Structure 1
Amino acid sequence: MNVANCPKCGRVYAKNFRDICPNCYKEVELQYEKCVKYLREYRKCTLSELNEATGVSVHQIAKFIREGRISLTQAPNLAFPCEICGTDIQTGTICEGCRKKLLTDVNNMNASEQLKSQPNSKNGYGYKIGD
């Protein structure tokens, strides 16, 4: 039997296709139902308004959005913070600006690594094999 500790409550549970125990799963489902019920009445609410009205954490609401359980086409004013800079976004985990900066940093690091790995005959420690 495959068992694990629930990351939310710490209880030991029989692992299945969910990553939390059955009790925590029921709690998350109740939170989801609260959000959906509120959004049916107040479709144009913001994330903070939904958080205040339902008591569901901003992190959990953002998780519902990322999982596709809460559709932004049905709730156009919902936006959650970028995980790096905090700018409001509606898809993914980071904003476009942070994504571009991260991509630039990775490309610069790759270029730097390539320069370090190439032999450099000007410094005297490289060599070239001729025909």
Structure 2
Amino acid sequence: MSDVNNCPRCNALFMKSRFREVCEACHKAEETLFDSVIRFLKKRENRAASIARVVDVTGVEEELLFNWVKKGRIQSRQFPNMGYPCDRCGKIIQSARICEGCQTSLIQDLKQHESDEQWKQSIKESGHTYYTRRKEK
């Protein structure tokens, strides 16, 4: 379903759809930039160019480049140095939403939480309560 929104780039009114998040004029400008990025990357000497190099040469915004890689318009298997930031730590990745280090950390945190919950449940089920008393002076 389409909604009437303001373009996030130029503030013009447009019909936002599931496929387009900017107005027609900004979309055409983005497509022109995309074409220049692809032409740059398809040259043999530029296939391994870094994100910073692509941004410097083509003038495209880094966020727009990240968006294209995330959506699969620029494929990291063809251009190995292209990627986008991890949602958690910001490290450049080529697939998924978070990097392997963050995945490992989250899994460890979940396992720790699960063992803590099991321990709390076992204390509740045992029915033993221990009280301590401070020594008064």
How many residue pairs match? The answer is: 124
RMSD, matched Cα: 2.7
Partner of 2:128: 122
1:103–1:57 Cα change, 3 Å: farther
Counterpart of 1:20 (choices 22, 25, 42) is 22
Partner of 2:64: 60
Q: CA deviation at 1:112?
A: 4.7
Separation (CA, whole Å) in 2 of partners of 1:10 and 1:77: 33
1:32–1:119 Cα change, 3 Å: same
1:113–1:27 Cα change, 3 Å: farther
Partner of 2:5: 4
Deviates more, 1:14-23 or 1:91-100: 14-23
Partner of 1:102: 106
TM-score, structure 2 length as denominator? 0.71
Q: CA deviation at 1:94?
A: 2.0
Separation (CA, whole Å) in 2 of partners of 1:112 and 1:38: 53
Q: Secondary structure at the match of 2:5?
A: strand
Q: Is the 8 A contact 1:46 1:79 kept in 2?
A: no
Structure showing greater radius of gyration is: 2
Specify every segment of 5 or more residues in structure 2 that has no aligned partner in the other structure, as ranges.
131-137
Q: Is the 8 A contact 2:5 2:15 kept in 1?
A: yes
Q: Percent identity?
A: 31
Q: Does 1:85 align with 2:89?
A: yes
1:86–1:116 Cα change, 3 Å: same
Partner of 1:29: 31
Q: CA deviation at 1:117?
A: 7.3
Q: CA deviation at 1:110?
A: 5.2
Specify every segment of 5 or more residues in structure 1 that has no aligned partner in the other structure, as ranges.
125-131
TM-score, structure 1 length as denominator? 0.73
Partner of 1:72: 76
1:2–1:60 Cα change, 3 Å: closer
Q: Does 1:38 align with 2:40?
A: yes
